[in-house]
């Protein structure tokens, strides 16, 4: 993010991402923190879950400090943002189960964190379980070159249980400490910029996107663009679903009323007037046209192209699934997404898959409609449903 005049910059709260191996407790930790630390009386107000939330944490001197948590499933979104070279979080929590120690996705997460260069804190989770072995877990971290405090390094580590809550306040204290050292700032006068972390299409409400403001501010009456998508700032909600007239970084927000689904992991920009926003979108459309020419060239090297139809429950899952499918290629065999969308697998998806070369249909956290099932059987179309990304990757 660009730096502006030092004079205007004010301290800001940190944005935290929780990463780690599947089942090591990312969701449990995020749930525990959300339930126990969201400002009193407001927790009940969260009617629909957005992919980020804010908490107030009381520190030793009695003052409270705000923290923004990214509540994204796994680290797919985090990785996709990394691949675009943008930072979404200021601090990462690397969660490791004290029962299992470091696992393949712990290493993957670690690599992502190291690439981004942001500070991180190790959370050794599940210490309430009889099989927990903190020493062994610390050892396995050292073997993977994570040298925590007391083990020859300076990476902070906290032992905790996302189930009982033991150690969670200490983790939040540590987050505050690390963020104070990082000296995070923002300029509230600057037109906002940040990253889209989730996008959804709703028949009644239209297209909405959860956005993390990384710098500056957003006010009603301004305009937002992300890639080729744009929206006037008319309906802006905080993470509790309450309408707000303005926001300052790094507040998580939901902006409703986009003209198309913004891509997850894509940056966004705020403009003071409609014309500037429109110009930014036009420029983006032009550059996209040029890039698609290169994609065509790349496909020519593939001897076999497997067509794929993808359906997922949310924009962010769809993005993660598409990225994962794109990775599954060799020099001679590659995949081509011929159609993608949000919602159950329908008859129409099967029809699209039933071309001269039969496509495979992949659903992520969605169902297959009954008529679609029988149409697929009749035409021998392969339909696969998954709920976990790595299971899909294994199958692919």
Which residues of the shown chain bind ligand GDP in the complex (CB under 6 A)?
20, 22-28, 125-126, 128-129, 161-163
Q: How far is the CB of 139 from ligand GDP (least distance, A)?
A: 20
**Considering beta carbons, is residue 99 or 260 the nearer one to ligand GDP?**
99
**Considering beta carbons, is residue 163 or 278 the nearer one to ligand GDP?**
163
Q: How far is the CB of 198 from ligand GDP (least distance, A)?
A: 17
**Considering beta carbons, is residue 73 or 363 the nearer one to ligand GDP?**
73
**Considering beta carbons, is residue 22 or 352 the nearer one to ligand GDP?**
22
**Considering beta carbons, is residue 9 or 24 the nearer one to ligand GDP?**
24
**Considering beta carbons, is residue 125 or 208 the nearer one to ligand GDP?**
125
Angle between helices 26-37 and 168-182 (to 10 degrees): 90
Q: How far is the CB of 392 from ligand GDP (least distance, A)?
A: 15
- Alpha-carbon span 309 to 351, nearest angstrom: 10
**Considering beta carbons, is residue 157 or 233 the nearer one to ligand GDP?**
157
Q: How far is the CB of 103 from ligand GDP (least distance, A)?
A: 11
Q: How far is the CB of 28 from ligand GDP (least distance, A)?
A: 3
Range 340-368 burial, b when 16+ CB lie within 10 A, else e: bbbeebbeebbebbbeeeebbbbbbbbeb
Please write down the HEC assignment for all residues of 3-17: CCCHHHCEECCCEEE
**Considering beta carbons, is residue 27 or 339 the nearer one to ligand GDP?**
27
Q: How far is the CB of 218 from ligand GDP (least distance, A)?
A: 30
**Considering beta carbons, is residue 20 or 194 the nearer one to ligand GDP?**
20
Q: How far is the CB of 126 from ligand GDP (least distance, A)?
A: 4
Q: How far is the CB of 240 from ligand GDP (least distance, A)?
A: 23
Q: How far is the CB of 26 from ligand GDP (least distance, A)?
A: 4
Nearest-5° Cα angle at 176, 172 to 181: 145
**Residue closest to 338 by CA, chosen among 316, 369, 371, 360:** 360
**Considering beta carbons, is residue 26 or 254 the nearer one to ligand GDP?**
26
Q: How far is the CB of 165 from ligand GDP (least distance, A)?
A: 9
């Amino acid at each position: 993010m660009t730096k502006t005049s030092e004079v205007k910059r004010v301290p800001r709260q940190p944005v935290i991402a929780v990463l780690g191996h599947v089942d090591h407790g990312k969701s449990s930790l995020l749930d525990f923190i959300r339930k126990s630390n969201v400002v009193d009386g407001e927790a009940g107000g969260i009617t629909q879950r957005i992919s980020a939330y804010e908490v107030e944490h009381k520190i030793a001197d009695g003052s409270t400090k705000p923290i923004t948590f990214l509540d994204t499933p796994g680290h797919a979104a985090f990785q996709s943002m990394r691949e675009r070279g943008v930072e979404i979080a200021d601090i990462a929590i690397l969660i490791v189960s004290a029962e299992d120690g470091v696992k393949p996705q712990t290493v993957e997460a670690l690599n992502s964190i190291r690439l981004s260069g942001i500070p991180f804190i190790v959370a050794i989770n599940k210490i309430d379980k009889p099989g927990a072995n903190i020493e062994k877990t610390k050892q396995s971290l050292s073997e993977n070159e994570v040298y925590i405090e007391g083990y020859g390094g300076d990476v902070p580590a906290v032992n905790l249980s996302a189930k009982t809550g033991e150690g969670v306040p200490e983790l939040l204290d540590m987050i505050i400490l690390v963020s104070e050292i990082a000296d995070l700032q923002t300029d509230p006068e600057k037109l906002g910029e940040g990253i889209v972390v989730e996008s959804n299409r709703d028949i009644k409400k239209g297209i909405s996107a959860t956005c993390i403001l990384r710098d500056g501010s957003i006010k009603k009456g301004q305009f937002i663009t992300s890639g080729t998508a744009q929206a006037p700032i008319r309906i802006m909600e905080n993470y509790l679903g309450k309408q707000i007239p303005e926001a300052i970084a790094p507040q998580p927000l939901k902006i409703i009323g986009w003209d198309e689904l913004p891509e997850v992991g894509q940056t966004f920009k705020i403009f003071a007037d409609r014309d500037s926003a429109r110009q930014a979108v036009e420029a983006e459309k032009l550059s996209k046209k040029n890039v698609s020419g290169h994609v065509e060239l790349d496909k020519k090297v593939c001897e076999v192209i497997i067509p794929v139809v993808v359906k997922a429950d949310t924009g962010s899952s769809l993005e993660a699934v598409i990225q994962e499918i794109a990775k599954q290629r060799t020099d001679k065999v590659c995949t081509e997404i011929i159609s993608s969308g949000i919602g159950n697998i329908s008859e129409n998806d099967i029809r699209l898959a039933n071309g001269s070369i039969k496509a495979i249909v992949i659903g992520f956290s969605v169902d297959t409609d009954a008529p679609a099932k029988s149409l697929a059987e009749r035409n021998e179309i392969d339909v696969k449903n998954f709920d976990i990304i790595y299971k899909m990757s294994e199958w692919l």
